[in-house]
Structure 1
Amino acid sequence: MGGAERTARKRRQQQQQQQSAGKQAVAKARKSTDPKRVGIIVGAIVVVAAVVIGGLIWTNASQNATEGQKIPTAQSANSQYPERREGLVVVTGNPDAPVTIDVYADFLCPVCRQFQEAYGQEIEQKVAQGQLQLRTHMVPMLVEASDPPGYSLDAANASLLAADAGKFTAFHDSLYANQPEEGKRGYSKEQLIELGRDLGITDPAFAQGVNSGKFDKQLTAEMQRISNDSSLHQDFGNGNRGFGTPTVTHNGKIVDFTDQQWLDKLISNAQS
């Protein structure tokens, strides 16, 4: 076995180990009785912008870690199926795929990032192979959980505009790969626009839409609708029931993704 082959094999093993660890982390967080581990249940938790935990005081440098930073671009799997925006939902994949899933997530949600790390590559591969159609819902649930507030909504709005430019998946993956810390500074509109440019978005409508908050009102109204949709509510323990992120549904039913084989099983059942 040559040196290049050994290096590639080692890299694949590391990626597999990282994905396995991510899946275990998602399952652990999802099973926790603490609803904050699985997102914010609307009306149940008040997010404080600056807190002191165990005597650790955030410094200004830590609070503003994203300021002036360029958002690195992430690579996503190539797919022959074009992305398309249907209202506030971005659809990717083969319209005739045997399985369609809906994923509800917030760009600032830590468990959504864990979900992306654990299953994002697998989902994109199955989309590219024509086995899966993905419907992504950007839900601005944590609007007040950044300092200053608003990053969750700005990112959701920008991602819809990126979808119109055919760059949604790369934009989406870049934001999760470089997720700001909840409670601290997110990325500014200027930084989101720069990310779009780095991904090849040249249409001035993208920057104009980011700056104007083109989809802000619609996203806010949709967040309210989703939070009131009892079919999307889950029991997080200790009497806490409501909508949390991430949430995955298939044929209108919530999918339990604490089972690491959940996606393979969905596709296998659909094809049997």
Structure 2
Amino acid sequence: MGEAARKRQRQAQAAKSVAQARGASSERNKIIAIVVAVVVVAAVVIGGVVWINSSKNSTEGTAIAPTTSTTLGPGVVEKLDGVVVSVGKPGAPKTIDLYADFLCPYCKQLQDSYGPKMEQAVNSGQLTVKYHMVTLLNENSDPPGYSLDSANAALAAVSSQKFTAFHDALFKSQPEEGGRGYDKAQLIKLGHDLGITDPKFDQTVNAGTYDKQIQAAFQQTENDPNLAQDFPNGAHGFGTPTVAVNGKAISTQGDWLTGVLNGTGS
């Protein structure tokens, strides 16, 4: 073999070695990239799980803030009739029935928008509000049962004339649907922070005294055709919130409360 041929052979071998080295390096880079991608995905998943769990359990160990804006005027009475709470002055010319679930975000929207206006009408003697606490979303807390526990606790506050303040505080600090609600100890503490000193309040909350009555009333409410409504998705039936006048559901679109007070929304 001539010198030129040997030179070409050495060059070919060198080029092959370089190619092999480059190939190995490329494979190493691919492996590193895959490992990095897996680590990143794992970090994102773990971070997401931690964030979801943190969000879901955001009520744990917290106190429900008592409201400072709720003030019932002189002569306003909170009265319990079965599991319906009437709030108003005797002889008020207008009455509405309000059906709501303490876990329902749309109920919170209604309370945020119209709660102060309703309470102003109550204080002025124009309106009586009959509150019906329903348990439509009772299975939608984790653990289930917050809708029922909160409804029972709100009823327990009536005898101390603290229902409205308790009701408003629960909507103000509403838990996230699908997450942890407030437990009985937290509900009791809210009552104490609002000034309830009667030991029967604690006993009623812990025992779930009104639970069976609340559930029976909800079954009747859910099956009442006068309370059924049409929804944007085409469904028809009972939903929350529902406002009723003379036993029949009315639309809560627009300034429905002014219509009720003026006699045009009945």
Compute the TM-score of the two structures, normalised by the length of structure 1.
0.76
> Secondary structure, in 3 states, of the residue corresponding to 1:59?
helix
CA distance in structure 2 between the partners assigned to 1:238 and 1:125 by the alignment = 34
CA distance in structure 2 between the partners assigned to 1:157 and 1:226 by the alignment = 17
CA distance in structure 2 between the partners assigned to 1:212 and 1:206 by the alignment = 10
Q: 2:181 aligns with which of 162, 165, 186?
A: 186
Q: Which amino acid aligns with 1:74?
A: T
* Structure exhibiting the larger radius of gyration computed from Cα positions: 2
What residue number does 2:147 align with? 152
* Cα deviation, residue 165, structure 1: 1.7
What residue number does 1:214 align with? 209
Which sits farther off after the overlay, 122-131 or 224-233? 224-233
> Secondary structure, in 3 states, of the residue corresponding to 1:254?
strand
* Cα deviation, residue 96, structure 1: 1.1
Any gaps of 5 or more consecutive residues in structure 1? Answer: 1-51
Q: Tell me, yes or no, if structure 1 residue 136 matches structure 2 residue 131.
A: yes
- How high is the sequence identity, in percent, across the aligned residues? 54
What residue number does 1:125 align with? 120
Pairing of 1:71-110 with structure 2 (within 5 A):
71-75=64-68, 76-80=70-74, 81-110=76-105
What residue number does 1:264 align with? 258
Partners of 1:77 and 1:125 within 8 A in 2:
no
What is the aligned residue count? 216
What residue number does 1:65 align with? 58
Any gaps of 5 or more consecutive residues in structure 2? Answer: 1-44
Alignment root-mean-square deviation, CA: 1.7
* Cα deviation, residue 239, structure 1: 4.0
What residue number does 1:174 align with? 169
> Secondary structure, in 3 states, of the residue corresponding to 1:223?
helix
CA distance in structure 2 between the partners assigned to 1:131 and 1:212 by the alignment = 36
Partners of 1:115 and 1:246 within 8 A in 2:
yes
CA distance in structure 1 between the partners assigned to 2:55 and 2:233 by the alignment = 33
Compute the TM-score of the two structures, normalised by the length of structure 2.
0.78
Dislocated runs of 4+, deviation >4 Å: 55-58
CA distance in structure 1 between the partners assigned to 2:261 and 2:134 by the alignment = 26
